[in-house]
Amino acid sequence: MNIFNSILILAAAFLAVFIEAAFSLPHRLLGAQIDVLPVLMIYAALNTDILTVSLLAVFGGLWFDSLSENPLGISILPLFAVGFPTWWLRDLLLRELSFAQFVLGAGASAVAPALAVLLLLTGGYEPLIGWGSLWQLVVMTAGGALATPIIFGFFDWCNHALGYQPIKETSFRPDREILRDKRSK
Amino acid sequence: MPHSRMFRKKHYVALGVVTLVAVLVLNLPAPAASHLKTGISALFLPLFGLAGNVQQLPGSAIDDLTPRSELVKQLNALRQQNQELLVRQQQSDSLQEENNQLRAQLGWQRQQKWKLKLANVVLRDPANWWKTVQIDAGTRDGVHEGCPVLTSGGLVGRVSSAGLVRSQVVLLGDPNCKVSALVEDPQRDVGVLSASGPLNNSLAELTYLSGNANLKSGQPVVSSGLGGVFPEGIAIGQVVDSWQVDDGLYTQARVKLSANLGALNQVWVVLQ
């Protein structure tokens, strides 16, 4: 993990929230907006440290709520509830496999909005829910699942192209170099 | 050392801090939370111009491709329409004057002309469980909480919170936007326009109509003016169908909204 990766994730979360609010094409076509924050949380949990996961939950949640009618701070805990267990179990998860990324993205994209609605209902708010919400959940789950391998690929490419790459150690050791004298030449 | 051992388990600290931050922010007093929300959303201000330009690109490309003859034709049509509207406004002004005189004779309160502010819709609620949009007009333009918002089609909603340069508008069909509405039938039944389904932007439910309301499909629905938020007589939509609820205790109806809430670009804010 390097700091460049953490900054990149937070910047991507900021842009993702804005794009979700500014471009409503998925909402018009499919009846639901796809949320990328849970997917970013999965990436952060599998590839960075707990500090980045926490920062993403707090700032991502606050940015999302600031452009929404949600009470400020309601999205922090659902995001962290997705990120924390994933970070905890990161050594057991097959993060390199596209199928595993797909399943993790689907799970996160389904759990985070469901938890947010549950928190809203617990807090006495009246979100707009009905049978149509099931369709919206399906769209968000499928959209998040499809977006996950793409986002993983994008971040891996960014890290490779822009990030610090450690110099590979060679097997050459100067103290073991065979020095030949003049006679052998 | 116990202290260092605690900090070695960073995940417990992170769990505690994130939970604490969430609980603190959620329990902020309403004015403080509103200010904080406005402050955080102001971080997105530099991106608004960018999004606006990107959205205007297709429009400007079409403008460039439109032939001059077509533009001249449109200009002439708009000039003619403008003349018609000016004549109608003169007629409306004389009727308004007559109305004011009659109201003065009866001792009724004089009706005020609406002060309108045109605003662009810049953002839509990213959460699927609310129906709100953000507009590029705020307290600097005279917009304040509760201002009705409409289009030429009809009522759209009301301003739920106003920042300096942007405001949030809660749309018809959102649980937080309830409107006292009147069906223009002989009985002039009054009900409350409330939340619709999460997927349908064009329909809303009109509830608490009287049990013996005899509604027919296509009857116009307008704002009743009760409650003091929305002025009287703004078009809302038309009745689609109706049914009795709770063994005839009251009637409920579905209303097709006049304004197209799914494709809002520009709206008028009634400053009053």
Main-chain phi, psi angles of B266, to 5 degrees: -130, 140
pLDDT in tens, A91-135: 888 778 888 999 999 999 999 999 999 999 999 998 988 888 999
Question: Is residue B262 within 8 Å of residue A28, measured between CB atoms?
Answer: yes
pLDDT in tens, B34-58: 889 988 988 888 887 776 677 667 7
Q: Does B19 touch chain A (CB under 8 A)?
A: yes
Whole-complex ipTM? 0.82
Residues in chain B predicted with pLDDT less than 50, given as ranges, are: 1, 6-7
> How would DSSP label each residue in B166-213?
-EEEEETTSTT--EEEEE-STT--EEEEE---SS-SSEEEEEEEETT-
- Within its chain, how far is the Cα of B20 from the centroid? 35
Residue B5 has a pLDDT of 54
Residue A75 has a pLDDT of 94
Residue B1 has a pLDDT of 44
**Residues present in chain B in total:** 272
Q: Give the separation between CA B234 and CA B216, rounded to whole angstroms.
A: 20
Place of tokens 């960014």: A158
By Cβ distance, the residue of B125, B131, B198 closest to A130 is B198
Sign of CA dihedral A6, A142, B47, A78: negative
By Cβ distance, the residue of B33, B125, B175 closest to A126 is B175
- Within its chain, how far is the Cα of A28 from the centroid? 25
Partner B, chain A 143-162, Cβ-Cβ below 8 Å: none
Q: Does A36 touch chain B (CB under 8 A)?
A: no
By Cβ distance, the residue of B130, B199, B262 closest to A135 is B199
Query: Which pTM value belongs to this model?
Result: 0.83
Q: Give the separation between CA B63 and CA B53, rounded to whole angstroms.
A: 14
A129 contacts B123? CB cut-off 8 A: no
Q: Over its length of 185 residues, how does chain A's per-residue pLDDT go in tens digits?
A: 578 888 999 999 999 999 999 888 888 888 889 999 999 999 999 989 899 999 999 999 999 999 999 999 999 999 999 999 999 988 888 778 888 999 999 999 999 999 999 999 999 998 988 888 999 999 999 999 999 999 999 988 888 887 666 677 777 777 777 777 766 55
Maximum C-alpha span of chain A: 93
Q: Does B227 touch chain A (CB under 8 A)?
A: no
Number of helices (H), then strands (E), in chain A: 8, 0
Residue B271 has a pLDDT of 87
Give the residue from chain A lying closest to B11, CA to CA: A50
Residue B202 has a pLDDT of 86
H helices present in chain B, as ranges = 2-8, 10-26, 30-41, 45-65, 68-106
Estimate the crossing angle of helix A37-47 against helix A3-22, to 10 degrees: 170
Please tell me the distance in Å from A180's CA to the nearest CA on chain B: 53
Q: Which residues of A touch B32 (CB under 8 A)?
A: none
What is the β-pairing status of strands B179-183 and B167-171? unpaired
Partner B, chain A 80-109, Cβ-Cβ below 8 Å: 80, 84, 87-88
Question: Is residue B230 within 8 Å of residue B223, measured between CB atoms?
Answer: yes
Give the residue from chain B lying closest to A24, CA to CA: B124
Nearest C-alpha neighbor of A39 from the set A139, A173, A164, A149: A149
Question: Is residue A79 within 8 Å of residue A60, measured between CB atoms?
Answer: yes
What are residue B161's DSSP bridge partners? Answer: B168
Buried b (16+ CB within 10 A) or exposed e, A84-123: bebbeeeeebebeeeebbbebbbbbbbbbbebbbebbeee
Q: Which residues of A touch B17 (CB under 8 A)?
A: 54
Give the residue from chain B lying closest to A80, CA to CA: B18
Q: Which residues of B touch A14 (CB under 8 A)?
A: 43
- Pick the residue of A10, A23, A24 with the most B CBs within 10 A to test the interface with B by mutation: A24
